[in-house]
Each structure stands twice: as C-alpha cells, then as structure tokens.
Chains A and B, each alone.
Chain A
Amino acid sequence: MTTTIRLTLKLYRFEIAAVLLASFALAVAALVVARLLDNVGVPAACFAYPGPEGSQPAVCPALRETWSTIGSRFGVRVLQLIGLLPIGAGLLLGAPLLARELERGTAPLPWTLSGSRRRWLLTRAAILGVVLLVALVPVALASERLEASWNPSVDPAKSFLDDNYRGPILIVRGIVTFSVAVLAGLLLGRQLPALIVGFGASVIIVLGGLAMMDRWYDWSAVYEIADSAKNGYADHVMDLLRRAPDGRVLTDEEAGALAPPNPELPPGGIDGTWLDEHFVQVWLLVPGDRYPDAVVVHSGLLLTAGTLAAFASLVLVRRRRPA
C-alpha cells in the first residue's frame, strides 16, 4: 500500500502541490485576517444594539471603522476565494485521475495488470480524496475562525451568515466536485474538456443544491416578531411581513390594502404609520439554531449527487475503452 500511495502522489505531484499550496495559503490568510480583526479590540458593547438613544461607548466609531475596513478589504475577499477553492481543488485532483490515463494511453498498463479496474480506481480516488481532505479541512476550520472574528456578535455554529463560504459545506463541495470531475474524465478521456465539463457540472450541482435548500428553508421557516435588538444576523431571513391582530400574516401591500383611504397618499401608496399601529412586523426566517440541520441537509443533497457520480464511474470504468 505504501508503494501505491507513493506512486499515486508522484503521478499527480503537480496537481497535489498546487491544491495544497492554494489551500494552505488561504487558510493562513484567513487566520491572519482573523488575528488582525481581533487585534483591533472592538468591545462587545460596540456590536450590541445601541437602543433608540444610540448610546454606545465613545471609542466605538473609530474602532468599528478600523475593524470594518480590515474586514471588508481583506476578510470578505479571503472568504470569497475560500468559497471557490473546493471547486478548483476538486477539479484539479479529479479530472486528471482517469482523463490523463486515457489521453496519454497509459490506462492499459494498470488495467491489464490489476484485473479489477474498480479496485484500481477506488484506490487511486481514495488516495487523492484524502489529499483533498487534507487540503480542505484546514481551510474550513480557518474560515470558521475568520467568520467568528468578522461577526463577533454571533456564534458561527448557530449562524447562517456567510454559510456558503465557510465550514463543512466547503469540504462537501470539494468531494462532490472531485467525484463529478472523475466521471467527466472517464467519459471524455481528455483532461481539458474534462476540466471544463466538470466545472460546468459542478456549478450546476452547487446551484441545484442551493435551489433545493431554498425549498428546505421554505419548509423550515417560522415567523418571529422583528426585534431590532436581535437584528436577525444569525438567522436566515427570508421576508419581512405584517401580522394582523387576527393572526393572519400579510405582505405590506396586502396589509396596506386594508387601510382606510388617505387622500394625502399618492395612488397605490401605503400608509406606514397606519400599518405600524395596526400590524406587528414579523420576519419569516429559519432561526440560526437550525444552521447545523441545514448543513446536514445541504451536505446530504450534494453527497447524493457525488455518490451517484462515483457510482456511475465505477460502473462505466469496467467497460471503458482505453482510447
């Protein structure tokens, strides 16, 4: 097994080096930015709701300005790059796995020596999969650390903030992209087309996952009275609505239609004062506490696609012509 690992790492050394370099660079960047944000030392009181009087410690504006500059200039960009890393890493490691063997005509060597193409593919995919995990786990952890510093008023484990750019979903996306890229390489037999098609397919799967998560959010959403002190930062807020005294929940337009005629308003205008007096504002949201559930569901959806791609590869590799 040691020989197999050594030779697999040697065969894909450039891809592995590129992926590890990029991931460790981003992990370090995330930790550095997190440290810079922490070093600003913004007191927790500066992030709390100031109340109607706007009373906060005097140091807050200056500190928040510095903190905000670091966060928006570096933190957000690092998180965005981290969001792209799983797709890049999955493609770079997955596409050449079979495509290069087929493109360069080396596939007959392992296929005729091994007998079981499936076992050969599984072994190689497992080794590169471990490399992918080694690359993505530190980035996922570092992104959580950056998130904690960038949004110190919420617990990242119970928050939907930046949920597409941090945490376990990054690892899952990397695995799914890897699986899809392997299949693309098997079907196309050439590296560049496999990279392009693998990228397209991965983007479709990621977007499909997000669209299906919207269904889950619809299904899991609850109404909560809008509370300025809470701010709803950690929650996945989907809409701001009005609750009537009889319990009905309406949009502003629906509620406004119930208001008595007001000649001072332009046609179709909504009387906000009247709405505030007669309706309570409510958020339609998925509470931040449900974030772990959302990660599980989202991961399950993506991993289902990844498993299907892996299964297809294992079925098709057995009858794949080498050229």
Chain B
Amino acid sequence: MAWRRVLRYGRRMSQLVNAPLPGSAAPALVAHGLVKRYGRQPALRGLDLVIDEPGLIALVGPNGAGKSTLLKAWVGLEPPSAGHVAVRGVDPWRDPARAMALIGYVPQAPALYEGFTVGDHLALALSLRRGFDRSYAEQRLRELGVPLDRRAGQLSGGQRAQVGLALALATRARVLLLDEPLASLDPLARREFLHVLVDAVRADGSTALLSSHVVTDIEQACDRLIVLGNGRKLLDASIASALERHAVGSFGASIPRDATLIGDFESAERARIQLWRLGEAGSERLPRATLEEVVLGYLAASRADEITTGKAA
C-alpha cells in the first residue's frame, strides 16, 4: 500500500540522515539540546555535550544532577523528552541495534541474575552480543580472583562490580558508559576497579565516561572532568586545566580583576571558601583549588543558581 511505502521511505531516509558517513569519525558521544523530564520535574535542561577523545572522562554531580539520566539516554534506557543523543553518529532511539553494538554499559547496580554463575553471565553475553570476547572476560576475572562457577548472589559487592565491568569491557566496544559503579564499593575495591578500567581504556584506546560522586578517585584516573548540576553542564575541562584555572580564597581576600567568582561553600573546617575561575593576570597570588573544591564550588553555584563575576562584585 502507498502509505506503507511512504513510511518505509521515511524510515530509510531517517536512517541515512542519522548514519555516519562511511569513513567519517563521528564523535563518540553527542548530546544536543537534551531535555529529560520526569513528570514536571526536569532532570536535564537542554544539555549540549560532545565527547570525542579517547580516555577516561569523569561525569560528576550530586544526586539528582542528571548523570544517570544522561548515560541512560545514550544507552537507550531513558528516552529524551526533547533534543537528541548520538553514539558515533547513531541515534540509539532510532537505530538501537547499531547504537548498542558500539556501547559497553555498566549500570549503577550490577545487573546480574542472582541464580546464574559468573560463567553463565559470560555465556549469556556471548549469546546476545556478536563479537563478545569471552576468553578476555574470563582471563580478567580469573586474574582478579572472581570464581567463574560461583553464583552472582554469592559474590561480594566488589566482585559483582568487576563482573559488570568485565562484561562491558569484553564487548570490545570503543565507547564505555559507567553509571556510578564505584558508589557501593569499599576503597580497596574502588581502587582495583579503577585500575582495571584505566588499563583497559588505555590499552584499547576507547572512550569511557565514568559517572561518579567520589571526586578523590577520579582525580588520579580521569583525563577530563564534566560537572553536572541541576540538569545543566557546569564545567567541562581537562583535569589539568580545571586544577590550573581555579583558585580558592576566603571572604575579603583581594581578588584578581579578571577572575570570576564561581561560588562559595563551607570547607571541612567550617570555614567559608570562595572558588574563583582565573583569568590571565594575577593568577599566581591565589592558592590553587583541589579537584574536590572545584567540584564543590560549581555545585554550590548551581545551587545558588547564579554566578557573579569578580568585576561585578
């Protein structure tokens, strides 16, 4: 029938428009004008983000900042309310099969079947995903001392996280999305997890976006920092640049004229601290901020919902 032909044509055209050109290297991850609302509550408010370079990128923000929602939109688990997302130029909501083939995903709580052994999970992944590298996953898990014949329900939190990571890495996907995998791990397990992740990302040259709110861990491991707050991107910079370009000062201290006040927050010692983004001049006079202070400053600013420039102040 004619209308079917029109629909088929429209779908084909849409696939062609969305598909990356042959030989072109579309960015690993793109979010454009991304809006997500849960009822009336906005989780993402017109987010624009492009991630292209290989390496480990930290996505940081408080609970409710929209981190999980953003990752789920890319992985086809949370439909956007407006805007669009793409993985290597493929829209996961129009062509999920192609998009998923490009992604390895580690959810917040490892999605494991309690009654399945670790080996069963690897077999399941192999049956679902073409190109799943089972021997790679087995080798990684053996090295970490995770017994393949043990049921998921009998694994420790750290072991479960490692199984989740092994499943994602063994897909050999060049784009990895990790949704707060460190949240429930003890410091030792966190360190071990990050060690495995960093090794794999560097060896494969893949792009991994790691959502977390444990800032101390990501400072050593990650190359780039993205701070989300109130569903908006507050900061997007390399770790080195974030540390270089931000300084802290107490109230009343003299501030370089071209610095911008980001926000103020309470330190661990209950002193009020201001975070400044530095300009070119006078940057040597202020003590540099730690990564945690950078994140806290931007989150405080997002909470206050305003950024006052140094000149205006």
Contact = CB atoms under 8 A, between A and B. Distances in A.
Interface of A: 1, 3-4, 7, 10-11, 13, 104-117, 120, 318-319, 321-322
A7 B122 CA distance: 11
Given A105-B109, A105-B111, A114 B128 contact: yes
A191 B112 CA distance: 18
B146 interface: no
A110 B124 contact: yes
A178 to B, nearest CB: 21
A121 to B, nearest CB: 12
Top 5 A-B pairs, shortest CB-CB distance = A115-B100, A115-B97, A109-B111, A113-B128, A114-B128
B107 A108 contact: yes
B124 A3 contact: yes
A110 B167 CA distance: 11
B98 A112 contact: no
B113 interface: yes
Given A3-B126, A11-B115, A11-B116, A113 B100 contact: yes
Given A106-B111, A319-B79, A115 B99 contact: yes
Contact of A4 (B78, B93, B127): B127
Given A3-B123, A112-B103, A115-B97, A120 B128 contact: yes
Contacts of B100: 111-115
Contacts of B103: 112
B77 A7 contact: no
Contacts of B93: 319
Contacts of A321: 77-79
Nearest to B164: A109
Interface residues of B, number: 34
15 contacts: A10-B115, A13-B115, A104-B114, A106-B111, A108-B107, A108-B111, A109-B107, A109-B124, A109-B125, A109-B167, A111-B76, A113-B125, A115-B99, A120-B128, A322-B77
A172 B131 CA distance: 39
Contacts of A106: 111-113
A145 B182 CA distance: 61
Contacts of A3: 123-124, 126-127
Contacts of B129: 113-115
Given A4-B127, A107-B111, A115 B101 contact: yes
A71 B57 CA distance: 74
Contact of B76 (A104, A109, A112): A112
B120 interface: yes
A23 to B, nearest CB: 23
Contacts of A319: 79, 93
Contacts, number: 79
B211 interface: no
Interface string B80-122: 0000000000000100111111010101010111111000110
A108 B126 contact: no
Given A11-B113, A115-B96, A110 B128 contact: yes
A10 B107 contact: no
B260 interface: no
Contacts of B116: 7, 10-11
B145 to A, nearest CB: 22
B225 to A, nearest CB: 25
Contacts of B96: 115-117, 318
A113 B112 contact: no
Contact of A115 (B98, B120, B167): B98
Interface centre among B96, B111, B116, B171 (most CB of A within 10 A): B111
A286 B184 CA distance: 68
A1 B132 CA distance: 15
A111 B79 CA distance: 14
A115 to B, nearest CB: 3
A114 B105 CA distance: 12
Contacts of B77: 108, 111-112, 321-322
A319 B81 CA distance: 12
B137 to A, nearest CB: 12
A313 to B, nearest CB: 16
B222 interface: no
A4 B123 CA distance: 8
A6 B93 CA distance: 31
A318 B125 CA distance: 19
Contacts of A10: 115-116, 120
Contacts of A318: 96
